[in-house]
């Protein structure tokens, strides 16, 4: 295979026109030949910048070298030292601002396609039936993990490897957190990828009890006092949706992205087979510019809607992964940037008929360096639509903090925890992921899960 050293080996994707009408995965991934060709672009830098950009410091040049040599088992082992969910991270990490953003290849040409290679390794290892090995012996100590998102799964997996007896408590009926209820099938296949990664965690000896809402069915204190758990890791995420508090938000056809995505992903409403109803809009306006907004937009599109993304800043500030924005555009999603909603308009029966917006311009940079948008007076206009999906970010659920005495939270409702150990203000309780940082990323949650496992192990042996 001919390789242009300046450019990434292109990855095969479903044609935008075709995929806009189905829920199959968009990106098809590299095959062996493509992966090995791409791996040959890596310079195996003695002082690899990519590793610095990786929140969990995967030994990137080592695993890429193994790919180049055709040794997927070895590549999987190298990644496994640092990451427990490679098939997921390879698909959803914002590589452009992490490893690939730092890659020296990127100075003159395009960075090495590290994410696609990671995905190739994880998918191939799965096809080959390579599984993580359970620990040889157990130490008999019980640890509870709350939440089965990436932070909880990682913490549970790492503790199980150290020999702990780990039970994960999950509020929903399916494990996986955002990976299951939030990120759509066409980006992260549930059966083929997410369920398999969860099976791998189970294979380590972790037991997952669904349908348990900590703070309601049980409390952290009851787990520790009555059920014999010596330590608890809280990885309960940031699941509370935000609304804008503008007039008309209670109209029929206004949804939080969480509701829309949960109906589609967790309850499978995208499929005709599901009994769960979902509105299939004709013309939908998605408010927001992050990954959540892109996922809601592309889900609505696949249900047959014309979709507008309304975002108050400009394209450069869109917080979504570059690949998602690119894919969304290819699929025909219309971006109304520098635009902010002021009111949702209803018809006589209370259904959404449109949204009134105002144009924005970017002002001076604020303390954070971001240029904050200011409304342009007199620029209001209406977009006709029958659904509005609010994707304005999420915050942590107060349920656990409010039912656990001595567990401190900050002003934003995030649990206060030490970054390197996950240690919270309450003895024996550790926390990490979105519950601590507010809505962030899969890899940061995973990293926090690892730190928490280490912190718990130190605590138990102190």
Residue 170 touches which of ligand FAD, ligand SF4, another protein, none (CB < 5 to 8 A by kind)? ligand FAD
Residue placing its CB nearer to another protein in the complex, 212 or 333: 212
- CA geometry: angle 286, 292, 298, nearest 5 deg: 60
Can you name the residues that pair with 418 across neighbouring β-strands?
none
| Closest to ligand SF4 by CB, 61 or 237 | 61
d(C-alpha 315, C-alpha 333), whole Å: 14
The two tokens of residue 213 are 């809402």
Binding segment for another protein (CB under 8 A), chosen from 131-139, 169-177, 417-425, 448-456, is: 169-177
Residue 327 DSSP code: H
User: Rounded to whole angstroms, how far apart are CA atoms 232 and 218?
Assistant: 13
Query: Which secondary-structure segment (H or E) carries 365?
Result: strand 352-365
Beta carbon of residue 277, minimum distance to another protein (angstroms, whole number): 4
Residues 76 and 313: their CA atoms lie apart, in Å, by: 40
Nearer to ligand SF4, 91 or 105 (CB): 105
Per CB under 8 A, 172 contacts another protein: yes
CA neighbor of 234 nearest in space, from 113, 103, 145, 143: 145
Rounded to whole angstroms, how far apart are CA atoms 317 and 309?
A: 14
- With both helix axes pointing from N to C terminus, report the angle between 60-68 and 32-39 in degrees, rounded to the nearest 10: 130
| Residues of this chain, 275-294, that bind ligand FAD according to CB under 6 A | 276-277, 291-292
Of the residues 21, 44, 276, 410, which one makes contact with another protein according to CB under 8 A: 276
CB of 360 vs another protein, minimal distance in Å: 25
Name which of residues 228 to 247 contact another protein (CB under 8 A). Answer: 239-241, 243, 245
Give the separation between CA 325 and CA 415, rounded to whole angstroms: 31
Q: How far is the CB of 286 from another protein (least distance, A)?
A: 15
Q: 3-state class of 53 per DSSP?
A: helix
CB burial readout 314-347, b (16+ within 10 A) else e: beebbbbbebbbebbeebebebbbbbbbebbbbe
The neighbour count for residue 194, using CB atoms within 10 Å, is: 25
Q: Which of 51, 92, 358, 453 binds ligand FAD (CB under 6 A)?
A: 92
> Does 399 engage in binding with another protein (CB under 8 A)?
yes
> Considering only residues 21-40, where is the footprint of another protein by CB under 8 A?
none
Query: Token pair for residue 298?
Result: 């592309």
Partner whose footprint covers residue 445, from ligand SF4, ligand FAD, another protein, none (CB < 5 to 8 Å by kind): ligand FAD
- Cα torsion through 433, 438, 444, 446, rounded to 10: 20
Piece in contact with another protein (CB under 8 A), picked from 86-94, 145-153, 348-356, 447-455? 348-356
Q: Among 68-76, 120-128, 404-412, 441-449, which window interacts with ligand FAD (CB under 6 A)?
A: 441-449
What is the size of the binding site for another protein (CB under 8 A)? 44
What residues are paired with 218 via a beta bridge? 214
Angle between helices 72-82 and 60-68 (to 10 degrees): 170
CB of 325 to ligand SF4, least distance (A): 23
Question: Out of 92, 194, 198, 279, which residue is the one contacting another protein (CB under 8 A)?
Answer: 279
CB of 410 to ligand FAD, least distance (A): 16
Rg (CA), the chain: 23
Q: Which of 95, 180, 256, 424 binds another protein (CB under 8 A)?
A: 256
The stretch among 109-117, 229-237, 304-312, 359-367 that binds ligand FAD (CB under 6 A) is: 229-237
Beta strand residue intervals within 159-266, DSSP E: 165-169, 207-209, 231-234, 240-241, 254-256
Cβ 420 to ligand SF4, closest distance in Å? 25
Q: Which one of ligand FAD, ligand SF4, another protein, none is in contact with 210 (Cβ closer than 5 to 8 A by kind)?
A: another protein
Does 173 engage in binding with another protein (CB under 8 A)?
Answer: yes
For residue 393, state whether it binds another protein (rule: CB under 8 A).
no
Positive or negative, the CA dihedral 328, 60, 129, 205 is negative
255 in contact with another protein (CB under 8 A): yes
DSSP 8-state secondary structure symbol assigned to residue 194:
I
Q: How far is the CB of 99 from ligand SF4 (least distance, A)?
A: 7
Strand order in the sheet with 165-169: 207-209, 165-169, 142-146, 231-234, 429-431
Footprint on this chain of ligand SF4 (rule: CB under 6 A): 42-45, 48-50, 60-61, 64, 103-105, 112, 114
Q: Output the six-digit token pair for 122.
A: 């994880």
- Asked if 249 interacts with another protein (CB under 8 A), we say yes
For ligand FAD, the binding residues (CB under 6 A) are 92-93, 146-152, 169-172, 177-178, 182-183, 212-215, 235-237, 239, 261, 276-277, 291-292, 295, 321, 397, 399-400, 433-435, 439-443, 445
* Contacts to another protein by CB under 8 A: 171-173, 210-213, 216-218, 239-241, 243, 245, 249-250, 252, 255-256, 258-259, 262-263, 267-268, 273-282, 303-304, 349-351, 386, 397, 399
């Amino acid at each position: 295979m001919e390789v242009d050293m300046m450019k990434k080996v292109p990855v095969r994707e479903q044609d935008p026109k075709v995929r806009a009408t189905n829920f199959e995965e968009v990106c098809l991934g590299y095959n062996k030949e493509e992966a090995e060709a791409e791996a040959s672009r890596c310079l195996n830098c003695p002082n690899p910048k990519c590793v610095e950009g990786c929140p969990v410091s995967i030994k990137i040049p080592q695993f890429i070298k193994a790919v180049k040599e055709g040794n997927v088992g070895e590549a999987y082992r190298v990644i496994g030292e640092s990451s427990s969910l490679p098939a997921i991270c390879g698909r959803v990490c914002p590589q452009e601002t992490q490893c690939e953003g730092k890659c020296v290849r990127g100075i003159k040409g395009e960075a090495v396609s590290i994410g696609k290679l990671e995905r190739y390794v994880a998918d191939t290892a799965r096809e080959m039936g390579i599984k993580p090995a359970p620990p040889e012996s157990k130490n008999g100590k019980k640890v509870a993990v709350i939440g089965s998102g990436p932070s909880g799964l990682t913490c549970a997996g790492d503790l199980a490897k150290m020999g702990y007896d780990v039970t994960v408590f999950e509020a929903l009926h399916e494990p996986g957190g955002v990976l299951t209820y939030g990120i759509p099938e066409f980006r992260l296949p549930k059966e083929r990828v997410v369920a398999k990664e969860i099976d791998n965690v189970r294979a380590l000896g972790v037991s997952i009890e669904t349908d348990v809402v900590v703070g309601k069915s049980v409390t952290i204190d009851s787990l520790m006092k009555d059920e014999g758990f010596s330590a608890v890791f809280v990885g309960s995420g940031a699941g509370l949706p935000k609304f804008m508090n503008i007039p008309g938000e209670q109209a029929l056809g206004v949804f939080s992205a969480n509701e829309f995505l949960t109906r589609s992903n967790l309850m499978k409403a995208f499929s005709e087979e599901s009994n769960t109803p979902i509105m299939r809009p004709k013309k939908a306006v998605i408010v927001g510019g992050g990954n959540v907004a892109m996922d809601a937009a592309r889900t609505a599109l696949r249900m047959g809607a014309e979709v507008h993304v309304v975002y108050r800043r400009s394209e450069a500030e869109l917080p979504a992964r570059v690949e998602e924005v690119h894919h969304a555009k290819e699929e025909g999603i219309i971006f109304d940037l520098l635009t902010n909603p002021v009111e949702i308009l209803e018809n006589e029966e209370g259904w959404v008929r449109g949204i009134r917006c105002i144009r924005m311009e970017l002002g001076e940079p604020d303390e954070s360096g971001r240029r904050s948008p200011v409304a342009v007076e007199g620029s209001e206009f209406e977009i006709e639509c029958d659904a509005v999906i609010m994707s304005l970010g999420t915050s942590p659920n107060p349920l656990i903090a409010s039912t656990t005495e001595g567990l401190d939270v900050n002003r934003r409702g995030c649990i206060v925890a030490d970054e390197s150990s996950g240690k919270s203000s309450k003895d024996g309780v550790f926390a990490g992921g979105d519950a601590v940082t507010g809505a962030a990323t899969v890899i940061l949650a995973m990293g926090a899960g690892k730190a928490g496992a280490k912190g718990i192990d130190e605590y138990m042996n102190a």
